[in-house]
């Protein structure tokens, strides 16, 4: 039988496995790789292929999986209880278009490239059953690709059912396959569960395809990392390191200076300009952009942050939802929380925390300070130990500090309050009313000396022999 040329693309993602070897209550496909669930990587790949329909077959922990992926563009099929990969695909078929080609992916195999998958799809679009394989030095317990003398694919034999001779084969099945959807619809009802595991193997469709004269073609993956899946925490950790090294190599190829490519973690996207330098132990989460010449010192964490050209992030600083202006300097040991917006040439020093505040060009808070819910102008000096008291126990209030003001050490600015342009606040002051521009404002209790005062002495402890 020669099927008509498929007109659409379906992708079925099999994600119903229990993942018992993970020894975790979290569904296997929700464990993170590069800061995102394993399944998220697979769904993103499916979207890049411009699939007409994407169906996720779920089972164990299904409610948690569906809640994590609320996208209305995804279709869902329940497999309960799981009875093998063939049974899983059969649950997805009612969600797919009958006239298209179907590509089968796995929710815990996250790193196959769109280029490789396009290679798998080409034979399927011409009417063949198309497989993705890889040759391994140690094929372990994977299903083996059995070929005829002329090289044609004869069968995939699962490790449990393989003979000793078949187990010596190094070419293994990755599980990824594609065929016209009408072929899968015809083959799957004929798949039997008479095997060592009592499951319906999707790989049994190869024999059915050959029996009716459908071509079986295999495409070998160019890189083993594309074929790796996750079944244990050890495998997840190993895949994480491979993934992170691949991200580091991309940065190196783009001209980024990485002091040690094996000590960087990218858990989202990292966009770098020219001449960016990143020291060891840094973590990048969400969407981070580093401008030309930006420098990030060791052991920093940046999440959803923009660092403009020439800025320096000193060691052990944490930035979350922040913007750092050109040539600014942050840290060491600084914390920028969501809404921190630093202008050009701003200095934020050690043990300074900034939240929901804009800080104008050239302003400085160099030591032990808290700036929250504040509009702080240009050229301001914010002294050591000073804070904006922005919360009254029920609501947040805003502090306004105008250009060129100087806030002395150990001051408390009780919001809502305004510090005028060029005003000076004397050290140790608590300011709850507006401080006029170009004046000195301070609040201090009179200094008192008490003659003859004696410091209380501790009573000696009784010692028992």
Q: What is the mean pLDDT of residues 151-175?
A: 89
* Distances, alpha carbon 44 to alpha carbons 41, 75, 162, in Å: 5, 14, 35
Interatomic CA distance for residues 179 and 243, integer angstroms: 29
> Which of 343, 330, 437, 429 shows the shortest CA–CA distance to 389?
429
Interatomic CA distance for residues 297 and 316, integer angstroms: 7
Q: Are 14 and 200 in contact (CB under 8 A)?
A: no
Highest mean pLDDT out of 138-142, 201-205, 273-277, 444-448: 273-277
Q: 392: burial class by Cβ within 10 Å (0-12, 13-18, 19+)?
A: exposed
- Residue 6 predicted with pLDDT over 50: no
Buried (b) or exposed (e) across 345-370, using 16+ Cβ within 10 A?
bbbbbbbbbbbbbbbbbbbbbbebbb
Backbone torsions φ then ψ of 167, nearest 5 degrees: -70, -15
DSSP alpha helices (H): ranges in 32-142?
38-48, 62-68, 85-92, 114-125
DSSP 436: P
Nearest-5° Cα angle at 369, 363 to 372: 80
- Residue 1 predicted with pLDDT over 50: no
Confidence of residue 149 (pLDDT cuts 50, 70, 90): confident
Cis peptide before 178 (omega within 30 of 0): no
| 9-227 and 233-441 have identical folds | no
Confidence of residue 242 (pLDDT cuts 50, 70, 90): very high
DSSP alpha helices (H): ranges in 188-232?
205-212
- In CATH, the number for domain 233-441 is 2.160.10.10
Q: Are 116 and 219 in contact (CB under 8 A)?
A: yes
Lowest mean per-residue pLDDT among 12-16, 167-171, 394-398, 458-462 = 458-462
The confidence score (pLDDT) of residue 465 equals 57
- Residue 4 predicted with pLDDT over 90: no
Highest mean pLDDT out of 5-9, 223-227, 361-365: 361-365
345/80: higher pLDDT: 345
The one catalytic residue among 87, 318, 367, 397: 367
Interatomic CA distance for residues 302 and 73, integer angstroms: 31
- In CATH, the number for domain 9-227 is 3.90.550.10
What is the residue extent of each domain of the chain? Answer: 9-227, 233-441
Q: What is the mean pLDDT of residues 197-221?
A: 92
Q: What is the mean pLDDT of residues 234-259?
A: 97
Confidence of residue 292 (pLDDT cuts 50, 70, 90): very high
- In the block, which residue shows the tokens 């948690």? 64
Confidence of residue 197 (pLDDT cuts 50, 70, 90): confident
Query: What is the tens place of the pLDDT at every residue in 124-134?
Result: 999 999 999 99
- Residue 196 predicted with pLDDT over 90: no
Q: Helix 114-125 vs helix 38-48: angle between axes, to the nearest 10 degrees?
A: 50
- Residue 260 predicted with pLDDT over 80: yes
Query: What is the tens place of the pLDDT at every residue in 35-81?
Result: 999 999 999 999 999 999 999 999 977 789 999 999 889 999 999 88
Share the mean pLDDT of the chain: 94
Nearest-5° Cα angle at 129, 126 to 131: 115
> Which of 131, 155, 171 shows the shortest CA–CA distance to 208?
155
Give, for 237, the enclosing helix (H) or strand (E): helix 233-253
- Residue 275 predicted with pLDDT over 70: yes
The confidence score (pLDDT) of residue 7 equals 67
**pTM greater than 0.75 (yes/no):** yes
200 CB neighbour count, 10 Å cutoff: 20
Backbone torsions φ then ψ of 453, nearest 5 degrees: -70, 140
Residue 46, SS3 per DSSP: helix
DSSP 143: P
Extract the runs of DSSP E, i.e. beta strands, from 304-443: 306-307, 312-313, 318-320, 323-324, 329-330, 335-336, 341-342, 347-355, 358-359, 364-372, 374-376, 381-382, 387-389, 399-401, 406-407, 412-414, 417-419, 424-425, 430-431, 440-441
Look up 347 and say whether it is catalytic: no
């Amino acid at each position: 039988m020669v099927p008509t040329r498929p007109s659409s693309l379906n992708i079925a993602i099999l994600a119903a496995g229990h993942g018992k070897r993970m020894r975790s209550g979290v569904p296997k496909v929700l464990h993170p790789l590069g800061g995102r669930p394993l399944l998220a990587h697979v769904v993103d790949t499916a979207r890049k292929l411009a699939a007409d329909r994407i169906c996720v077959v779920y089972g164990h922990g299904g409610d948690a999986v569906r809640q994590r992926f609320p996208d209305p563009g995804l279709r869902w099929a329940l497999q309960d209880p799981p009875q093998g990969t063939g049974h899983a695909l059969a649950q997805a078929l009612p969600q797919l278009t009958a006239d298209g080609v179907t590509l089968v992916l796995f929710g815990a195999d996250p790193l196959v490239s769109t280029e490789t998958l396009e290679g798998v799809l080409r034979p399927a679009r011409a009417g063949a059953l198309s497989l993705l394989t890889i040759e391994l030095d140690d094929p372990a317990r994977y299903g083996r690709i059995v070929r005829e003398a002329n090289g044609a694919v004869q069968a995939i034999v699962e490790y449990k059912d393989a003979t000793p001779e078949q187990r010596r084969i190094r070419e293994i099945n990755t599980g990824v396959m594609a065929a016209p959807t009408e072929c899968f619809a015809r083959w799957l009802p004929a798949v039997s569960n008479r095997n060592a595991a009592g499951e319906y193997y999707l790989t049994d469709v190869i024999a059915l395809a050959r029996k009716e004269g459908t071509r079986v073609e295999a495409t070998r993956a160019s890189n083993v990392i594309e074929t790796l899946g996750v079944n244990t925490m050890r495998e997840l950790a190993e895949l994480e390191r491979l993934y992170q090294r691949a991200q580091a190599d991309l940065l190196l190829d783009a001209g980024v200076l990485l002091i040690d490519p094996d000590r960087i973690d990218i858990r989202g996207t990292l966009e770098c300009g020219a001449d960016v330098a990143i020291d060891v132990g840094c973590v990048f989460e969400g969407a981070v952009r580093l401008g030309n010449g930006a420098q990030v010192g060791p052991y920093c964490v940046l999440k959803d942050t923009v660092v403009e050209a020439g800025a320096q992030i000193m060691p052990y600083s944490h930035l979350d939802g922040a913007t750092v202006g050109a040539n600014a300097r942050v840290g060491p040991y600084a914390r920028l929380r969501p809404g921190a917006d630093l202008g050009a040439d701003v200095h934020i020093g050690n043990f300074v925390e900034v939240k929901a505040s804009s800080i104008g060009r050239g302003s400085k808070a160099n030591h032990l300070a808290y700036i929250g819910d504040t509009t702080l102008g240009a050229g301001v000096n914010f002294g050591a130990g000073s804070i904006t008291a922005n919360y009254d126990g029920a609501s947040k209030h805003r502090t306004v500090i105008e250009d060129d003001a100087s806030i002395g050490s150990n001051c408390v600015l009780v919001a809502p309050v305004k510090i005028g342009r060029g005003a000076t606040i004397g050290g140790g002051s608590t300011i709850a009313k507006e401080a006029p521009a170009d004046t000195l404002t301070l609040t201090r209790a009179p200094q008192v000396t008490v003659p003859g005062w004696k410091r209380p002495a501790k009573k000696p402890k009784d010692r028992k022999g």
